Amino acid sequence: LAKRERHAVRRFQADLGQAAMEQLELGQALRRALENGELRLHYQPIVDAQTLEPVALEALVRWQHPQLGLLPPGRFIPVAETSGLMSPLSHWVLREACAQLSHLRARWPALRVTVNVAPQQFVEADFADQVSAALHDFGLDPKAVIIEVTEGAVVGDAGFLQAEELDSAGLDLALDDFGTGYSSISRLHQLPARWLKIDRSLIQDLRPVPERRSSRPIVRALITFAHEAGLQVVAEGVEDPQQLQELQDWGCDLLQGYLIARPQSPELLKL
Ligand code: C2E
Ligand code: CA
Ligand code: CA
Ligand code: CA
C-alpha cells in the first residue's frame, strides 16, 4: 500500500475503534442513566380529527444526558438494544407513563396514554402481567393505556397470542407505522388492534410532487379498509393545514403531528 493509503486505513480503523468505544461507553452510561433517573418522557397529543380535542398522549422517551443534553430515542434505543437494556427501559417507560397519566387524569379524566413497545419486549412472556401490574399500581383502568406495536410484532404466533391476551384484559392496541414495509391491508380484519396509525411517510407524500406519485389513493383506501375492519385511523406526522383538511374530509378519526402539537415535557403540556 502506498503511504497515503496506509494512512487512510489506519484512520479508518481508528474511527471504527472510536465508534465502537463510544457505543460501549454509551451503553454503560445508559445503564447508569436508568439507575439515576436521567430518562424522561415527552408527550405528543393525539387529537380527535373533527374537534381537535386531545384523546390520548403518545409517550416518547428521551435521555437527559448530563453532558450531551436531551437525546432523542434514535440516539440511544439502538444502544439499549445492543446492551441488553431494552427490557428495563421498556419497564421504566410503561410505569412512568402510568404514573404521569394518573396525575393528568385528575384534570382530564378521560385522557389516555400510548406506549411504544419493541417487538422483543412485546412477546416477553410476562409482558401482559407487567402491564396489569402497572395499571393496578397506579389505579388505572385497562383503557387508560394503549400499546403501540408495529405490525411485525403481531403477525407471528407469540405476538398474536400476546395481543389476544392484552385484548381480553381490556387493553387497546395500536398498529404503529402502518403502510411501511409489507403491510397486510387484506388481513386488517384479522389483526387484533383497535387503532391503525398511518405512517408519517404516507402523510408527507399526500402532496403531489413532480416525479413522485401522491399517496392519496393509498391513504384513502387505508381509511376505508380500516373502518370496514372496525379500526380507528390515526394519521401521524400531520404538518400542514392542507393535510389536515383532506384527512378530515376522508373521515380519518384521529390526528397527530407538529401542526397540532410537538412532543412536550409533561409540565409544558397545553391540552
Ligand atoms: P414513532 O413511534 O413513529 O413516534 C413518532 C415520531 O415522530 C416521534 O419521534 C415524534 O417526535 C415524531 N413526530 C411527531 N409528529 C411529527 C411531525 O409532524 N413531523 C415530524 N417530522 N416528526 C414528527 P421521536 O420521539 O424521535 O421517536 C422516534 C421513534 O423512537 C418512535 O417513532 C419510536 O419508534 C421510538 N420510540 C420512542 N419512544 C420509545 C419508547 O419508549 N420505547 C420504544 N421501544 N421505542 C420508542
Ligand atoms: Ca409510535
Ligand atoms: Ca409511528
Ligand atoms: Ca415511525
SS (H, E, C) the chain: CCHHHHHHHHHHHHHHHHHHHHHHHHHHHHHHHHHHCCEEEEEEEEEECCCCCEEEEEEEEEEEECCCEEECHHHHHHHHHHCCCHHHHHHHHHHHHHHHHHHHCCCCCCCEEEEECCHHHHCCCCHHHHHHHHHHHCCCCHHHEEEEEEHHHHHCHHHHHHHHHHHHCCCEEEEEEECECCCCHHHHHHCCCCEEEECHHHHHCCCCECCECCCHHHHHHHHHHHHHCCCEEEECCCCCHHHHHHHHHCCCCEECCCCCCCCECHHHCCC
What letter represents residue 258's amino acid?
Y
Provide the pLDDT for residue 122.
Answer: 98
**Atom 45, ligand 1: which residue's CA is nearest?**
116
pLDDT at 21 over 80: no
pLDDT at 207 over 90: no
Q: How far is the CA of 208 from the centre of ligand 1 (A)?
A: 25
Neighbours of ion ligand 4 (CB under 5 A): 177
Q: How far is the CA of 16 from the centre of ligand 2 (A)?
A: 32
Provide the pLDDT for residue 8.
Answer: 82
Residues having CB closer than 6 A to ligand 1 are: 44, 60-61, 72-74, 77, 93, 116-118, 176-177, 200, 237-239, 257-258, 263
What is the pLDDT averaged over residues 132-144? 98
> With DSSP H G I counted as helix, E B as strand and the rest as coil, what are the percentages for the chain, rounded to 5?
50, 20, 30
What is the pLDDT averaged over residues 136-163? 95
Q: Which atom of ligand 1 is nearest to the CA of 238?
A: 18
What is the pLDDT of the chain when averaged over all its residues? 93
What is the pLDDT averaged over residues 185-201? 89
**Atom 42, ligand 1: which residue's CA is nearest?**
116
DSSP 268: G
pLDDT at 190 over 90: no
**Atom 21, ligand 1: which residue's CA is nearest?**
237
Q: How far is the CA of 108 from the centre of ligand 3 (A)?
A: 24
**Atom 4, ligand 1: which residue's CA is nearest?**
60
pLDDT at 22 over 90: no
Q: Residue 189 class from Cβ within 10 Å (0-12 exposed, 13-18 middle, 19+ buried)?
A: exposed
CA distance 236 to 255: 6
Which ligand is in closest contact with the Cα of 60? 1
Q: Which atom of ligand 1 is nearest to the CA of 118?
A: 44
Q: Which residue has the cell 411517510?
A: 201
Q: Which three three-digit cell numbers place residue 225?
A: 379498509
Cβ contact 183:176 at 8 Å: no
Provide the pLDDT for residue 38.
Answer: 98
> Which of the listed residues 100, 116, 198 should we mutate to test ligand 1's pocket, taking the one with most ligand atoms within 8 A of CB?
116
Which ligand is in closest contact with the Cα of 120? 1
**Atom 11, ligand 1: which residue's CA is nearest?**
263
Binning pLDDT at 50, 70 and 90, where does residue 30 land? very high
Q: How far is the CA of 60 from the centre of ligand 1 (A)?
A: 6
Could you read off the pLDDT of 32-66 as tens digits, one per residue? 999 999 999 999 999 999 999 999 999 999 999 99
Provide the pLDDT for residue 257.
Answer: 98
Cβ contact 198:219 at 8 Å: yes
Q: Where are the alpha helices (DSSP H) in 2-85?
A: 3-36, 73-82
